[in-house]
Amino acid sequence: MGSQVAVDRMLVTGHRIEVPLDWSAPAGPQISVHAREVVAAEHAGDANRPAIVWFQGGPGHEIAFPDHRGGWLEQLLTRYRVLLLDQRGTGLSTPLDARSLTISDPAVLGPYLTHFRQDSIVRDADRFRATLYGEDADWYVFGQSFGGFCSLTYLSLLPEHLRGVIITGGFAPVLHETDEICTRLFNHVATRNAEYYARFPADVARVRRIVDHLETTNEVDGQGQRLSARRFLMLGGMIGHQHGAAELHGIIERADSDLDQLHMLGGAVHLQIAETMSPATNPIYTVLHEAAYSNGPATRWAAERARLADPRYALDAQPVPYFTGEAVFPWMLEELRELRPLRDAANVLAEHEGWPPLYDVARLRANMVPVVGTVYWDDEYVERTMALETVSLLGNCRPWITNEYEHGAYRVDPKHVGDRLFSMLDDLTARR
């Protein structure tokens, strides 16, 4: 047992294990992986309480210390002891930071980073299962967004000790490769753009004005970096939030007012853009965002090619260019100084061939582990038709298909979402 602290009616215990960097070479270099087990204080003495591992969104996003008992964590604590895994390279696990990379040679760093995808993450998690609860112990899995991708990889590679799986907004497009996924996502995001401009028609002229300003003016942010129009248009990722369209409208309205009164964009607008871009400063997210979809082929900057191929996203599109959704583009590694150390390694990975398969479609079809989850009809990040294909092929799966929520529903209404999914899981389990 690692260090233990009491926080807001919870016991939080840290654990650390050593795992192979490359699971296909277990005797090779090792890295450290950290996790925190969280138990409700009133259930601390219940040794039979089932465990669930949490796979957060990403890839490469750090999971915060559980500083209070609330939200989705509270829902899980009503039923489980919860293992919050610092996915390899994040949190207190052996870190990766673009500002302090220990490997400078891109020809070495690129191959090193190939070991930070879902296939490695789920093997780390399963080692934790065996270490903390016993080789023969069973447990549950929860996966949000990219965490759902991890859950499907777990079902593909190591399903033997899974008692049940909950997926929210993360039914990965297992039947498709990165090029098609990006093309279809950009088409879906275009639909969301059309809905946005129909809702806020005055923003057509405002966005056109802001884009023209950024294309013709040296607009510098608070960090001394030039703000380009294409970086500004990445605010489109906000449309996929529960109230993101209105939030984006507020930013556009403020930016237009700034141009009237300041003849430049104010600090508040720059801060919003910086916050939207912050995942890109994470090395794993930046270099493996597209690779998280690949079952073999090189990705070759598929999102950038999809953007360039769709005239609706061109900066000179009339009457207004469309906002892009969640994506990583190669020019970001030039424009953002935090990412420049990753540029050459990212290009190495973009050309990498022979990614190990992340999913076993035959095993998923034959799956008997109870799986429940949400498919959000308007999800900007996981396109619904491909998600529904995965739901249809996955054995013993019961989906909740809804247009009531966006991608982050588990944060917005955790009790309603939790009660619905737990009831579905209990019913599916009882039918086994």
Strands 397-402 and 4-7: unpaired
> Do 93 and 267 form a contact (C-beta atoms < 8 A)?
no
Q: Which of 93, 120, 145, 294 is catalytic?
A: 145
For residue 97, indicate whether it is catalytic.
Answer: no
Query: Residues with Cβ < 8 Å from 6, sequence gap 6 or more?
Result: 12, 41
Instruction: Round the average pLDDT of the chain to a whole number and report it.
Output: 94
Question: Where exactly are the structural domains of the chain?
Answer: 4-174+358-430, 178-350
Percent of the chain's residues with pLDDT above 70: 99
Task: For the chain, give the percent of residues with pLDDT over 90.
Answer: 84
pLDDT at site 1 = 59
Q: DSSP secondary-structure letter at 220? A: B
Query: How many angstroms separate the CA atoms of 16 and 18, rounded?
Result: 7
- Sheet order of strands, 10-20 included: 4-7, 10-20, 30-40, 81-86, 51-55, 139-144, 162-168, 371-376, 397-402
- Give the pLDDT band (50/70/90) at residue 163: very high
Q: Which residues pair with 51 in a beta bridge?
A: 81
What six digits make up the tokens of 165?
Answer: 């799986």
Buried/exposed 46-71: b ≥16 CB within 10 Å, e otherwise? eeeeebbbbbbbbbbbbbeebeeeee
pLDDT tens column, 259-278: 999 999 999 999 989 888 77
Examine the residue annotation and report whether 407 is marked as an active-site residue of this protein.
yes
Q: What are the residue ranges of helices labelled H in 49-117?
A: 71-77, 106-113
Say if residues 85 and 35 touch (Cβ distance below 8 Å).
Answer: yes
Q: What is the mean pLDDT of residues 41-57?
A: 94
- Looking at residues 108-125, what average pLDDT do you find? 95
pTM for the whole structure? 0.95
Q: Which residue has the tokens 């013993």?
A: 396
Q: What is the pLDDT of residue 209?
A: 98
Do residues 356 and 292 touch, judged by C-beta distance below 8 A? no
Q: Of 115, 176, 270, 407, which one is the catalytic site residue? A: 407
Report helix, strand and coil shares of the chain as percent, to nearest 5.
50, 15, 35
Mean pLDDT of 37-59: 94
The dotted CATH code for 4-174+358-430 is 3.40.50.1820
What CA–CA distance (Å, rounded) separates 206 from 425? Answer: 47
pLDDT at 97: 75
Cβ-proximal residues to 201 (8 Å cutoff; 6+ apart), any chain: none
Whether the Cβ atoms of residue 25 and residue 118 lie closer than 8 Å to each other: no
Identify residue 131 by its one-letter amino acid code: T
Mean pLDDT, residues 80-103: 88
Taking residues 407-419, report their average pLDDT: 91
Question: For residues 217 and 395, what is the distance between their CA atoms, to the nearest angstrom?
Answer: 55
SS3 state of residue 37:
strand
> Where does the pLDDT of residue 257 fall: very low under 50, low under 70, confident under 90, or very high at 90 and above?
very high
Extract the tokens encoding 83: 């293992």
Q: How far apart are CA 64 and CA 84, in angstroms?
A: 9
Judged against a pLDDT cut of 80, whether residue 245 lies above it is answered with yes
Q: Which residues pair with 126 in a beta bridge?
A: none
Residue 200 phi, psi (nearest 5): -125, 70
Is residue 99 scored above 80 in pLDDT? Answer: no
For the cut 80, the answer to whether the pLDDT of residue 281 exceeds it is no
Is-catalytic flag, 67?
no
Determine if the peptide bond prior to 330 is cis (ω within 30°): no
With 90 as the cut, is the pLDDT of residue 104 above it?
Answer: no
| The pLDDT value given to residue 65 | 95
Q: For residue 184, give both structure tokens.
A: 């279809």
The reported pLDDT for the residue numbered 382 is 93
pLDDT exceeds cutoff 90 at 258: yes
